[in-house]
Amino acid sequence: MAFAAQFAGVYLNFSPEDAASRSGKLAAFLPEGMDQQAGWDGYGKYSAVAVQPYDIETTDAQNAVVTVAFQSGPRRFLLSVPVYYSGDEAGKRFVVSGRPAILPAPAPADLPQLAKPETDDAAAAELKPQLEGFFKDYASGDAAGLQRYVAAGKSLPSFGGSFTFAELKEVVVPVGGATREIQAVVEWLVPTASASAAPNTTDPGAVGGRLEQAYRLTVEKQGDKWYVADIRGAGRRVG
């Protein structure tokens, strides 16, 4: 699958200006006697990004069709690549054994809504100022400040200044005991590539933006305060 994905990265990107370079790169994947451009006539342009292994169908111990996913423009596609494997004294070797084929990728899955859990608004109100302080120091990398919000015996890494905390948009706290799994939606300030960009610039890339993300946290109540024991991606959205 890795071999097919590497091949797809070369095969799916072509233009007349790069024809010779592409042919040289494809030689590492093609058998002797096969068309050096693998079926391309040398005209037109095509480009692909986000090339990733997707599936594999083996027909025997030496032959398989590997499917690779990729993005071209606004659409996702699949590329099927026939591959031959030879394991001998020279090591594990692969070669593209036939013409590839581009196919449309499946449409996104239909995602049913999950019922909202029963929430504890009082605990959410208690947690909000604690979480605001936590995320501020989690972003800045203030280790001493961050530790004030982390449960005893725990230690968490931080962004170290890669982002800046902007706002805690939402906190969902289910009913429960002293230890709970909660969700928080946070808005980060994304830095601009140039710190000296003019405030009235018309280039969106030169202005710091905002990025909204969701996290799942394990929180523990110790005394009259809540502390963070763990943080990870929130996963599926509820409600």
Residue ranges per domain, the chain?
A: 2-104, 121-233
Q: What is the CATH number of domain 2-104?
A: 3.10.450.540
pTM of the model: 0.75
Question: What's 119's DSSP letter?
Answer: B
In whole angstroms, give the CA distance from residue 182 to residue 55.
Answer: 35
Residue 14: its pLDDT value, please? 96
Residue 96: its pLDDT value, please? 96
Residue 184: its pLDDT value, please? 96
- Classified by CATH at the fold level, domain 121-233 comes out as Nuclear Transport Factor 2; Chain: A, (3.10.450)
Residue 68: its pLDDT value, please? 98
> Who's near 51: CB < 8 A, 6+ residues apart?
5, 8, 9, 12, 68, 69, 70
Q: At 10, which helix (H) or strand (E)?
A: helix 2-11
Summarize pLDDT for 117-128 with one digit per residue, the tens. 899 999 999 999
Summarize pLDDT for 3-55 with one digit per residue, the tens. 999 999 999 999 999 999 999 999 999 999 999 999 999 999 999 999 999 99
Beta pairing, strands 101-104 & 91-96: unpaired
- Weakly modelled stretches of the chain, pLDDT under 50: 195, 197
- The residues facing 67 across adjacent strands are 55, 80
